[in-house]
Amino acid sequence: MFDGATKFFRGKTLDGNWESPFDPFAVGRAYTEARAWQYRYFVPHDVYGMEQLFGGREALIEALDNLYSATSNVRGDLVDIDGLIGQYAHGNEPSHHITHLYNYVGQPWKTQALTRKILKEMYHATPEGITGNEDCGQMSAWYLLNSLGLYAVCPGTNQFSLTSPLFEEATILLANGKQLVVTANNPAENVYIEKVTWNGKAINQTYITYNELMSGGVLDFTLSATPSKKWGTAVEDAPYSYSKNPKVSIPTTTDNLHLFEGEIEVHLLSATKDAQIYYTTDGTKPSASSTKYVAPISCNASMTIQAIAYKEGLEPSQVATIEATKAIYRPALQKDLTTNGVYYRYYEGDFSQTKEMNDAPLVEQGVFTALTIDKAARADYFGYKFSGFIYLPQTGIYAFSLNSDDGSVLFIDGEEVVNNDGTHGSITATGKIPLQKGFHRYALNYFESYEGQTLSWNWCKPGDNAFQEVPMLNLFVK
């Protein structure tokens, strides 16, 4: 989901809150083979719509520039994040279209400089000459297309984004028997596009279509050693985007509104400068005749806030629905337990979700003195269902986390609290639940697919600021 406060696309937890704390440099469950920095720009089908979410063209340009100037630090271990220029990661596919996004925002000379830099610095004629993982040929495909001055940012649009080619002349024999010839003047010295012609006709836009290329002919680039601020800079020169009209960015809040205690204030904002926000709390759709947002909204009970933003000359934003939920503490069980331990049920099989253990034959069951996966009979393709009672020393809102490789899911009193399911590396997921002091039932399901095996269960008790391992002294069996 897009967060207008940070201007990043962020994950949400089961309770509807933003995953917190948010660190765009950290590896986490919300992003696949990348982090917040790389997926910040992954809207190849609607770059203009993304521009509106960011609050306008200048805001998106600033965000793109920041990608390449940011520190290359990586917090966490993820082999796919490789070939870094700032936080641009050329070693994996989620970044591969980003260099061409300057063609969409009126600064195509930056696309030309960046693609040429990558072609020169990240590809070498050696056995290890390709950064990252070749992945079915994508690293090579990026090189081949960009060296010809072309790239398919969004293939379904039928358009190739243009950039500065690497060779003086290249000839491609097309599948229909025709030839495509790409020419450029002294590309060894010249990086920037001054002019492009297709079969002698000038192309001012920063793209050419597949149909044009397949008709055969000569695509000629006139290059220079200095950036041209004229070619391809008009709004109408940009490639296709799904959105057509300027629109106000959707209202958002960074407040943690799920399971609040007492009374809270809800702050609303839009990334569009000077946008006016209107909201309702009675379930009706907001409009310009609804209550205008001028100060934080006081909230002492669960409520649904719907908000819309307006600005003259722009289309209204989408309606944002924001849930504020007051904590209701789950009652404790009337039990007096004294035996520490963990019930376990052990399964074997090739699982991709924890629920698949429901259909697998039970191999072994019993009681462990610790919650562990170290006693599995095999290294891969197994699963555990752990259960029992957890004693909570005080009433309040408890946060739980599961770090696992592969999938894990935590239930307390029958409610799903943490979902870290699926096949993946060692990553962490969190969730919260309001609980009374005393005993509560828990179930923790885990499976291991292949390669690494990890499982740890942690909690953050009311009033604490950090997660710690759930002590075995708090886990009981009958």
Mean pLDDT of 364-392: 97
- Summarize pLDDT for 433-463 with one digit per residue, the tens: 999 999 999 999 999 999 899 999 999 999 9
Split at pLDDT 50, 70, 90, the class of 345 is very high
Give residue 67's region: left, alpha or beta (phi > 0; psi -120 to 50).
Answer: alpha
Question: What is the DSSP track for 107-148?
Answer: -HHHHHHHHHHHHHHSB-SSTT-B-S--TTTHHHHHHHHHHT
d(CA 349, CA 359): 10
Split at pLDDT 50, 70, 90, the class of 32 is confident
pLDDT of 20 higher than 90: no
- Summarize pLDDT for 307-318 with one digit per residue, the tens: 999 999 999 999
CB count within 10 Å of CB 66 equals 14
Cβ-count burial 372-390 (b if 16+ within 10 Å, e if not): ebeebeeeeebbbbbbbbb
- Block residue for tokens 């920063």: 206
Q: Give the residue from 383, 341, 377 showing the smallest Cα distance to 359.
A: 383
pLDDT of 14 higher than 90: no
Which tokens belong to 431?
């969730």
d(CA 116, CA 188): 10
- Summarize pLDDT for 256-277 with one digit per residue, the tens: 888 899 999 999 999 999 999 9
Split at pLDDT 50, 70, 90, the class of 193 is very high
CATH, range 2-237: 3.30.2080.10
Residues shown for the chain: 478
Is residue 292 within 8 Å of 277, Cβ to Cβ? yes
pLDDT of 223 higher than 90: yes
Give the model's pLDDT for residue 165.
98
Give the model's pLDDT for residue 425.
87
Is residue 40 within 8 Å of 67, Cβ to Cβ? yes
Query: The CATH number of 339-477 is which of 3.20.20.140, 3.40.50.300, 2.60.120.1560, 3.40.50.450?
Result: 2.60.120.1560
* Mean pLDDT (the chain, rounded): 95
Mean pLDDT of 192-198: 98
- The kind and range of the H/E element at 59 are helix 57-69
Planar angle of CA 39, 42, 43, nearest 5 degrees: 150
Which of these ranges, 15-29, 89-103, 213-227, 464-478, has the smallest mean pLDDT? 15-29
- The kind and range of the H/E element at 66 are helix 57-69
Which tokens belong to 161?
């984004």
